[in-house]
Amino acid sequence: MVERETQGRRPRRRGAGARIVAAPAAPSRARLVNPFKPVEILSQDSIEAIHEASMQILEEIGLRVLDDEGRALYAAAGAAVDEATQTVRLDRGLVLAAIARAPSRLTLRACNPARDVAIGGDAVAFVTVGGTPYVSDLEHGRRPGSLAAFEDLMRLAQSFDVIHMLGPASEPVELPVDERHLAFTHSQLLLTDKVPFVYSRGRQAIAESFDMIALAHGLDEEGFAREPRCYTIVNSNSPLQLDSLMLQGIIEFARRGQLMILTPFTLAGAMAPVTLAGALAQQNAEALAGIALAQIVRPGAPVAYGGFTSNVDMKSGAPAFGTPEYVKAAFASGQLARRYGLPWRSSNVNACNAPDAQAAYESQMSLWGALMGGCNVLMHGAGWLEGGLTASFEKFILDVEMLQMFAEIFRPVVCDADSLALDAIREVGPGGHFFGAAHTLARYESAFYAPLVSDWRNFEAWSEAGAPDAARRAHNVYKRTLAAYQAPEIDPARRAALDDYVARARRGAA
Amino acid sequence: MVERETQGRRPRRRGAGARIVAAPAAPSRARLVNPFKPVEILSQDSIEAIHEASMQILEEIGLRVLDDEGRALYAAAGAAVDEATQTVRLDRGLVLAAIARAPSRLTLRACNPARDVAIGGDAVAFVTVGGTPYVSDLEHGRRPGSLAAFEDLMRLAQSFDVIHMLGPASEPVELPVDERHLAFTHSQLLLTDKVPFVYSRGRQAIAESFDMIALAHGLDEEGFAREPRCYTIVNSNSPLQLDSLMLQGIIEFARRGQLMILTPFTLAGAMAPVTLAGALAQQNAEALAGIALAQIVRPGAPVAYGGFTSNVDMKSGAPAFGTPEYVKAAFASGQLARRYGLPWRSSNVNACNAPDAQAAYESQMSLWGALMGGCNVLMHGAGWLEGGLTASFEKFILDVEMLQMFAEIFRPVVCDADSLALDAIREVGPGGHFFGAAHTLARYESAFYAPLVSDWRNFEAWSEAGAPDAARRAHNVYKRTLAAYQAPEIDPARRAALDDYVARARRGAA
């Protein structure tokens, strides 16, 4: 379901052959609404200055577009294309008219309707880590990603209701690249009932992934394309370049009405200017150019504006995340996305090598930047470490703790007569205590957030228990969670169809 | 300097015998202004409901006031005093008229004028940890506090310009209680040139501390009282009780025009109702009652509204900090303080036993709650661990890193033509990189925040270096900082006067 901000929410429709799924009681964190007014770090004048600079970039410098069909589509829409340099210059009239067709709100349909995800407005969705070549845990250390590790990350994603969508987690590096999408999609659809991720790794991989998602939903091609049921991330090759795979992603996702999140990789000082304003202007130009292409392909195609601007360590050139500059860029990116009426994607990122205090404070900086900035889709919400090189199982659990805390912060503070508790205060009186008060006893079991990892024992009890640090406790939670994991139900016929599809596609690929 | 919000800032005056101090170039973090509009978690109706409930508490239930002079002062101002139960009931007219006299902005004068601290409005001041019985570091583990440890914490406080005021750090438990204030004040005045803390531990200790601060400033009694030059924290004995030492603190600080921060210790579920609204209503009643007494003693006395509401672990009764409930209470406390035109004090707190990921994420939650809530004085800004039982040297450094990051987040994003960097983007062009661009080279050395602890080396380089975690790196920074510490200059005559005062007071105490 895709709609402009101004339209009301339409009643949802379902295909006749709706999938048979268990319908669990809606978990309390399954749908989150952010009650806070987004931070405005930039004045309206500054936002307009960045807008103006990005329009000048698109009009005067242009983008290098490394795909024939992409350039042809831009040209047909009225862009000035220089085939010799593969450069596309976009007039602001063209860009702004195109992005005005993008929906500001949409709903991603999951196989389990209880897992549908609202995107845009004040809705916020949390996503797992994505795209790491390595995985790590305290037991086995850091090692290349594998399908087994990917599947364990999917099991964790399924186990926590605060995770709303699946990210591409870690790479199954033992699989041939042209088969990975089959395993990726198969595992996501069988181990979870949440909205899956599809890589933009070429037309065939995209088409096959779509086929499989349609099978899991029990839909034909037309039924699949009626609503968004998966999403992809398209990164521009900053500065100002879109490669062929990325362009195929923009085009195919738009054609089939699936969500495409355009995220420029604008690291200030490396792939973007060293100044935040310049990096944001370039981010804005790249994001709007890609989103405009999606709208050229299919007006109303579901898209989101990705902000990933951070800075590099100027001593080494290494990317840094969760820095002060990152937080400021996040706030500003939210303002930019809202200026164009687009949902905004941000991230929970850090540049730390271990799940320690640095990982936590850099992640928290990213999280507050995203969530006080009004982010709608939080990528890398759980598990990201080492600037995205590693998916850490302990960090996954630490992040789930933090995300659950935010879910609780989002819940309103009730201020009725009952919660103002005058009678309890009168009953206890000066110098008393509330432990035994009736008002306390009636509420204490559910009054406060119950932590997953945080250890509030006193120092002596904690020391006697071996002084386990937060990473060690997260390790235990991750092991416990995997042991208790239960696969979602799936119609056996659909499961068989998926297995069969993968087997046939593998033979075709081999 | 003390003024109501509506007045302009007056030019500052100095006594003729101003202290001879080195005048370093103003460090960039010495004065921080928070540019963000404070978060409003409560509707205006909810704020008024909490206000109304707190007025009912003061009018109908009242406070137990465990000090004869305190009750007499309340009675003389028109309160209903029941001497049999030591209960004081305060009419809202009395309370609101009294707190209306409190300044909404003031300036704390340090011995070094470059260290003066603005309190209120959009100014924010960071303070060290305070009041811990234990200290810890990775080398010696956790041990009882000592004067040596206190002095090392003061040396750290002096070494970082992001620390604006001194907290009481750790207790020197080897000293007799009735002498600790002498050592406390002496060390603060000689090891730092920042605004000192004075405990409210009885009339004599307060008076002697004031005498010493006056000596350090080279001022007589009258000159000392002309402006606030130190501060104290008064905690009510929640629920609804003020003990004799706390009352003496309120009275003596008001009489001498020094800053008193009234902070109720309202842990929801223990010393306050289990519901946030109830805990906040009680916090508000206690804070306003104490602040009203200060204004009864001396209209215009410098005060601040302390918010410390958190929750307990309902399984054990242990206090928890940096929880979702804590964050919400912080946002709400800021709104309440602003409703009365009072500066707001919050804290950087956690309930963790080690400087690990939990300590960092709980601290970050507290920090964002305080700073997005518009806090003016951040107590326990650096070093607090274990719910305030321990001052950790490594946590001190980790906190300084986080505070420095906030100082950077507070700096405006410049959006002029130069920072929008169109020429650089044109020069680099699609597919290039910015490392060598003239725009980058002219700025890279100071473009980004340079971290103190964060380690952005790649995994291999970090592993070869022994894979030091953030706590270990913080340990190294703390040792390096102490080795490089330099004491501020002080007039030898004033130093001698302070030494002499302490010697005489010790003989008097012995």
What CA–CA distance (Å, rounded) separates A152 from B266? 43
Work out the number of other CB atoms within 10 angstroms of the CB of residue B491: 15
**Arithmetic mean of pLDDT, A19-29:** 48
Mean pLDDT along residues A166-187? 97
Per DSSP, the residues of A392-417 read EHHHHHHHHHHHHHHHHHHSPPP-SH
**What per-residue confidence (pLDDT) applies to A317?**
87
Q: Taking CB atoms and an 8 Å limit, are A41 and B36 in contact across chains? A: yes
Residue A67 CB neighbours (<10 A): 18
Secondary structure element (H or E) that encloses residue B299, with its range: none
Give the integer Cα–Cα distance in Å for B120 and A221.
62
Does the beta-carbon distance from A365 to B49 stay under 8 Å?
no
CA distance B73 to B476: 52
Q: For position B509, what pLDDT does the model report? A: 60
Q: What is the predicted pLDDT for the residue at B11?
A: 34
Query: What residue of A is the nearest CA neighbor of B56?
Result: A422
**pLDDT average per 10 residues of sequence, chain B (510 residues):** 40 36 54 97 98 98 98 98 98 98 98 97 98 98 98 98 97 96 98 98 98 98 97 97 98 98 97 98 98 98 98 90 98 98 98 98 98 98 98 98 98 97 97 95 92 96 98 98 97 98 86
- Contact at CB, A414 and B40, closer than 8 angstroms: no
Nearest to A471 among B240, B276, B356 (CB): B356
What is the spatial distance between Cα A118 and Cα A105, in angstroms, rounded to a whole number?
7
> Region A270-275: what's the mean pLDDT?
97
Cα B116 from Cα B123, distance rounded (Å): 12
- The tokens describing A1, both together, are 């379901």
Spatial separation of the C-alpha atoms in residues A170 and A392, rounded to whole Å: 10
Which A residues, 143 through 182, put their C-beta within 8 Å of a C-beta on chain B? none
Say whether the peptide bond before residue A468 is cis (omega within 30 degrees of 0): no
Reduce the secondary structure of A358-395 to three states and give it as a string: HHHHHHHHHHHHHHHCCCCEEEEEECEEHHHCEEEHHH
Q: What is the pLDDT of residues A82-118, one digit of tens each?
A: 999 999 999 999 999 999 999 999 999 999 999 999 9
Distance from the Cα of residue A266 to its chain's centroid:
18
Dihedral sign for Cα atoms in the order B400, B403, B407, B408: positive
- Quick check: A27 pLDDT over 80? no
Tell me whether residues A361 and B402 touch, CB distance under 8 A. yes
CB A411: neighbour CB atoms within 10 A? 15
CB contact under 8 A, A434 and B274: yes
Structure tokens that stand for B28 in this block: 């960039």
Q: Other C-beta atoms within 10 Å of B177: how many?
A: 11
Smallest CA-to-CA distance from A255 within A62, A81, A70, A68 is with A70
Are A448 and B320 within 8 A, CB to CB? yes
Contacts for A433 with CB less than 8 Å, ≥ 6 apart: B239, B270, B271
Q: Where are the alpha helices (DSSP H) in A31-135?
A: 44-56, 68-76, 92-99
Half-sphere exposure of A451 (CA within 13 A, CB side): 27
For chain A, count helices (H), then strands (E): 19, 21
Q: Cβ contact (<8 Å) for B324 and A35?
A: no
- Residue A3 three-state SS: strand
Q: Which ipTM did the prediction report?
A: 0.94
* A372 in contact with B, Cβ within 8 Å: yes
Does residue A105 contact residue A5 with C-beta atoms inside 8 Å? Answer: yes
| DSSP secondary structure, A312-352, as one string | E-TTT--EE-SSHHHHHHHHHHHHHHHHTT--EEEE-----
**Helix or strand or coil: residue A310?**
strand
Measured between beta carbons, which residues in chain A are less than 8 angstroms from residue B318?
456-458
Task: Assess A439–B contact: CB distance below 8 Å, yes or no.
Answer: yes
Residue A471 CA to residue A458 CA, distance in Å, equals 18
Mean pLDDT of A262-273: 97
* C-beta separation of A240 from A273 below 8 A: no
A234: exposed, middle or buried (C-beta count within 10 Å: 0-12, 13-18, 19+)? buried
State the CB neighbour count (10 A cutoff) for residue B429: 15
Closest-CA distance, B454 to chain A, in angstroms, reads 6
Exposed / middle / buried, residue B506 (Cβ in 10 Å: 0-12, 13-18, 19+): middle
Residues in chain A: 510
Kindly report the nearest CA distance between residue A477 and chain B, in angstroms: 14
Residues 6+ apart with CB under 8 A from B361: A360, A361, A363, A364, A398, A401, A402, A405, B322
Å from B211 to nearest chain A CA?
A: 34
Q: Does B123 lie at the interface with A, CB-CB under 8 angstroms?
A: no
CB A348 within 8 Å of CB A370: yes
Q: Is A52 exposed, middle or buried (0-12, 13-18, 19+ CB in 10 A)?
A: middle
Q: How far is CA B232 from the centre of its chain?
A: 10
Q: How many CB atoms lie within 10 A of CB B218?
A: 18
Question: Rounded to the nearest 10 degrees, what angle do helices A44-56 and A324-339 cross at?
Answer: 80
* Chain A: closest CA distance from residue B162 (Å): 15
- Between A3 and A416, the more confident residue is A416
Structure-token pair, residue A110:
């999951």
Inter-chain CB pairs, A–B, below 8 Å: 399
CA-based nearest residue to A206, from A150, A172, A169, A253: A253
Measuring CA to CA, which residue among B324, B321, B266 is closest to residue B41? B324
Q: Does B506 touch chain A (CB under 8 A)?
A: no
What span, in angstroms and rounded, lies between the C-alpha atoms of A145 and A153?
Answer: 11
| DSSP reduced 3-state for A43 | coil
Cβ of residue B353 closer than 8 Å to a chain A Cβ: yes
Question: A123 in contact with B at a CB cutoff of 8 Å?
Answer: no
Asked if A320's CB is within 8 angstroms of B456's CB, the reply is yes
Instruction: Return the pLDDT at A509.
Output: 61
For residue A328, give the nearest of B60, B409, B437 by CB distance.
Answer: B409
Which backbone phi and psi does B353 adopt, to 5 degrees? -90, -5
Question: Do the Cβ atoms of A357 and B358 come closer than 8 Å?
Answer: no
CA B384, distance to chain mean position in Å, is 12
Interface contact A402-B361, CB threshold 8 A: yes
Which residue in A408, A415, A453 is closest to B358 by CB distance?
A453
Q: For residues A339 and A333, give the distance between their C-alpha atoms in angstroms, rounded to a whole number.
A: 10
Q: Which residues pair with A32 in a beta bridge?
A: A124
Q: Which residue of A has its CA nearest to B268?
A: A434
| Arithmetic mean of pLDDT, A356-366 | 98
pLDDT computed for residue A510 by the predictor: 53
B433 at interface of A, judged by CB pairs closer than 8 A: yes
Nearest to B358 among A316, A372, A455 (CB): A455
* Interface touch B425/A57, C-beta < 8 Å: yes
- Chain B: give the shortest CA distance to residue A173, in Å: 19
Q: What are phi and psi of B129, to 5 degrees?
A: -55, 160
CA distance linking residue A169 with residue A340, whole number of Å: 30
Q: How many other C-beta atoms are found inside a 10 Å radius of the C-beta of residue A463?
A: 14
For A316, nearest residue in chain B (alpha carbons): B457
Tokens for A470, please give them: 């937060």
Q: Rounded to an integer, what is the distance from CA A91 to the centroid of its chain?
A: 30
Per-residue pLDDT, A315: 83
Residue B416 corresponds to which tokens in the numbers above?
């002029």
Distance from CA of A352 to the nearest CA of B (A): 7
* Distance from C-alpha of B333 to C-alpha of B47, rounded to nearest angstrom: 10
What single-letter DSSP state applies at residue B282? H
- Buried/exposed code over B393-423 (b: 16+ C-beta within 10 A; e: otherwise): bbbbbbbbbbbbbbbbbbeebebeebbbbbe
Reported as a pLDDT band with limits 50, 70 and 90, residue A508 is confident
How high does pLDDT run on average in chain A? 94
DSSP 8-state symbol, A306: E
Q: Tell whether B432 is within 8 A of chain A (Cβ).
A: yes
Residue A462, chain B, CB below 8 Å: the answer is: yes
Alpha-carbon distance of A494 to A488, in angstroms, equals 13
Using a CB-CB distance cutoff of 8 angstroms, which residues of chain A are in contact with residue B35? 41
Which tens digits make up the pLDDT trace of A57-78?
999 999 999 999 999 999 999 9
Q: Is A485 helix (H, G, I), strand (E, B) or coil?
A: coil
- Partners of B439 on chain A (C-beta within 8 Å) are 273-275, 278
Q: Smallest CA–CA separation between B244 and chain A, in Å?
A: 14
pTM: 0.95
CB contact A423 to B (< 8 Å): no
Question: Which sign, positive or negative, has the C-alpha torsion A207, A209, A211, A217?
Answer: negative
If contacts are CB pairs under 8 Å, which of residues 40-79 in chain B contact chain A? 40-42, 45-46, 49-50, 53, 56-57, 60-64
Alpha-carbon span B285 to B274, nearest angstrom: 16
The residue with tokens 């409005």 is: B121
Q: Name the closest residue on chain A to residue B282, using Cα atoms.
A: A425
